[in-house]
């Protein structure tokens, strides 16, 4: 499921948001790379259970929260996340 975040973000986000997605993903990948070997030495069952639970949680989040963009044009995809749009941030006072 690792490559799904940057793939989805590249389809719907502006450059600033895409940069934030990539930095966040890189931080989590580094943490995973450093922690996994030591955890596998101690408790492999815990590591695989944790991976299964995180994958299940990610699947549920994607299924219920992330909007479907199949068949939408580039403009329609980006319009979903504009400020004030269904999946965008709320508008600030005085902003339209």
Per-residue pLDDT at 10: 73
Which pLDDT tens digit goes with each residue over 10-26? 777 766 777 888 888 88
Q: Which residue has the tokens 């590249």?
A: 10
How confident is the model at residue 60, as a pLDDT? 92
In order along its 96 residues, the chain shows pLDDT tens digits of 566 777 777 777 766 777 888 888 889 889 888 988 888 888 888 888 888 998 899 889 888 887 787 887 877 877 777 777 777 777 778 877
The CB density around residue 82, as the number of other CB atoms within 10 Å, is: 13
């Amino acid at each position: 499921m690792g490559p799904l975040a940057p793939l989805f973000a590249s389809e719907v986000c502006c450059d600033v948001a895409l940069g934030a997605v990539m930095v966040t993903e890189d931080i989590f990948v580094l943490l995973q790379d450093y922690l996994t070997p030591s955890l596998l030495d101690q408790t492999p069952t815990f590591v695989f259970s944790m991976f299964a639970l995180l994958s299940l949680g990610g699947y549920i989040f994607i299924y219920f929260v992330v909007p479907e963009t199949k068949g939408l044009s580039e403009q329609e995809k980006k319009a979903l996340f504009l400020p004030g749009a269904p999946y965008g941030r709320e508008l600030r006072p005085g902003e339209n």
